[in-house]
Amino acid sequence: MDSYAKGATAPALIEQTIGDCFDAVAARQPEALALVSRHEGVRLTYGQLQADANRLASALLRSGLVPGDRIGIWSHNNSAWLLMQLATAKAGLVLVNINPAYRTAELEYALNKVGCRAIVAMARFKTSDYLGMLRELDGQLPQLERSYWIDVAGQGADEPGMTRFSELLASGDVADPRVAEVQRGLKNTDPINIQFTSGTTGFPKGATLTHRNILNNGFFIGECMQLTPADRLCIPVPLYHCFGMVLGNLACLTHGSAIVYPNDGFDPLTVLQAVQDERCTGLHGVPTMFIAELDHPRFAEFDLSSLRTGIMAGSPCPIEVMKRVVEQMHLSEITIAYGMTETSPVSCQSSTDTPLAKRVSTVGQVQPHLEVKVVDPASGAMVPRGQSGELCTRGYSVMHGYWGDVEKTREAIDTEGWMHTGDLATMDDEGYVNIVGRIKDMVIRGGENIYPREIEEFLYRHPQVQDVQVVGLPDARYGEELCAWIIPKPGQALTEEAVHDFCKGKIAHYKVPRYIRFVAEFPMTVTGKIQKFRIREAMSEELSLRPDRTA
């Protein structure tokens, strides 16, 4: 049997815009809790959130922006972010998510690439001075006309040349007839969001997504989690990424659930506190976040018994971590989601009743109204079930395209509409998909294909290993050799010899990492994706490795 699966066709796709769908939910339950932003002390009902979103949409249109214009959001998690997500959708503006880790060169590239006319930014966060960086680029952003900074109304000094977000919001009219008029004229196939994909080489590409893309993806993600208006979802993952914005915000808003932001940036203690105090029923996170929560010295102090579901995604989910999350955090119905920004993002997900064995070893089955297949990367032909190849996705979730880059779009989406993910996967007889690595991460040692994920899962079983990443390094004799970066559990003294002894007789000799390093952290993106290429770069430099020489 070929590695191909097609999702269910019910329930039907939502053929509304984000604004219309949200208004319908708000009309059904105006008094229900919609948002808790704990670090800001903000609590809004669906009716209040709708009023603020309409007021902001009015303000943006009154500022001179017109449907189709691009406006950037450069901020960690807060209520202004959610308001921008809803207001821009109502006003037909394209929200451009700017990574809070970006610095001046990356910011300049992103804003100019898509032609942002305005930007809403945090003032500062830890060592990042966002307004300072914007001022530094004065004169280098020819299309940027207005900059707004997220303030606490009536507090703090003014920022010369920039407008307070609270003033922008106050300039709008909650009953502005133009908002309803613009909203009526929008199509659900209109681009509404641009997210920059962090490529390991070259400049980031602006994945352009429509109402139809992300609204439906958020809805079906919530369906997998069985969300209802009784649920409260704790969202510590960044909103600038699909994980927070779609798997978090839109999953909640399409089901009338409450959104809970524990903090602006990730902090395990505030997550645990928020879950306990708000009686959250759901919790999202990447594996490194769940590890930080589980291993926090005060973990046992918190009552997490209200938890039921959530999503672990963003990078491969270690089986041992998944087991701990289910057993120690009460997340008996946690699901695994897999996808990429270009597919809005989720194409496969486990459900709340997926058997635990499948939940900890796969990324679930294809989502409704989507198709997935596994193909031979060289020939493009479908491979038999159980054989690895490149995972491809087709359906409503596939992006509109890369902004202003027809050539890159054609490289990613073939003539039959399949998005080529670059991920290596297998599909079993029941249609469960397992991600075994990235095509570019596969290590070929002496003719043997090795998937780093397999070695990582094995090393996670070591009782003193907290986290591990495996990469391939150049080797003159074998072509490539394995290298493992290991974060030991707190207070544990782990040695290279102990790791090698653990491997002996349990995995093939060629799968035992030649190089082992103990580190405190991994290089990663803001969303928790491990940057393996940086590990390779650091080790190659340390060992003076080149493809034609060895250490």
Of the pLDDT bands very low, low, confident and very high (cuts 50, 70, 90), residue 273 is: very high
Read off the pLDDT of residues 437-468 as tens digits, 9 standing for 90 and up: 888 788 878 777 787 888 998 899 999 999 99
- Return the higher-pLDDT residue of 131 and 99: 131
Q: Which CATH number belongs to the domain containing residue 462 in this structure?
A: 3.30.300.30
Torsion, Cα 124 127 132 137, to 10 degrees, reads -120
Rounded CA Rg of the chain = 23
pLDDT for the residue 549: 32
**Residue 196 forms part of a structural domain:** no
Q: How confident is the model at residue 415 (pLDDT cuts 50, 70, 90)?
A: very high
Confidence of residue 551 (pLDDT cuts 50, 70, 90): very low
Q: Say what the pLDDT of residue 526 is.
A: 65
- Containing domain of residue 528, as a range? 442-542
Which is it for strands 465-475 and 479-488: parallel, antiparallel or unpaired? antiparallel
Q: SS3 helix, strand, coil % of the chain, rounded to 5?
A: 30, 25, 40
β-bridge mates for residue 232, sequence order: 258
Residue 266, amino acid: F
Average confidence score pLDDT of the chain = 93
Express each pLDDT in 313-371 by its tens digit: 877 677 888 889 999 999 999 999 999 999 999 999 999 999 988 988 899 999 999 99
| Tens digit of each residue's pLDDT (9 = 90 or more) over 44-55 | 999 999 999 999
State the alpha helices, DSSP H only, in 63-194.
Answer: 79-91, 104-114, 130-136, 165-170, 177-184
What angle in degrees, to the nearest 10, is found between the helix axes of 177-184 and 79-91?
Answer: 70
pLDDT tens for each residue of 18-37: 999 999 999 999 999 999 99
Could you give the 3-state DSSP secondary structure of residue 462? coil
State the pLDDT confidence band at 99, using cuts at 50, 70 and 90: confident
Asked if residue 219 belongs to a domain, the reply is no
Q: 207 - beta bridge partners?
A: 195, 402
DSSP state of 391: E
pLDDT (tens digit per residue) in 178-204: 999 999 999 999 999 999 986 444 578
In a domain, 460, yes or no: yes
φ and ψ at 191, to 5 degrees?
-60, 135
Name the residue type at position 197: T
Residue 470 resides in a domain = yes
Q: Count of domains in the chain? A: 1
pLDDT for 494-538, tens place per residue? Answer: 999 999 999 988 887 888 999 999 999 999 876 677 889 899 999
Residue 404 lies in a domain: no
Task: Give residue-wise pLDDT tens across range 202-261.
Answer: 578 999 999 999 999 999 999 999 999 999 999 999 999 999 999 999 999 999 999 999
pLDDT at position 550 is 33
Query: Has residue 474 been placed in a domain?
Result: yes
What is the Cα 215 distance to its own chain's centre?
15
Shortest CA distance to 384 belongs to which of 375, 392, 393? Answer: 375
Phi-psi region of 401 (alpha: psi -120 to 50; beta: other; left: phi over 0): left
Cβ-in-10-Å burial (0-12, 13-18, 19+) of 508 comes to: exposed
Does residue 88 lie within any of the structural domains?
Answer: no
Burial 467-483 (b: 16+ CB within 10 A, else e): bbbbbbbbbeebebbbb
Does 452 fall in a domain? yes
List pLDDT tens digits, range 469-500: 999 998 877 888 999 999 999 999 999 999 99
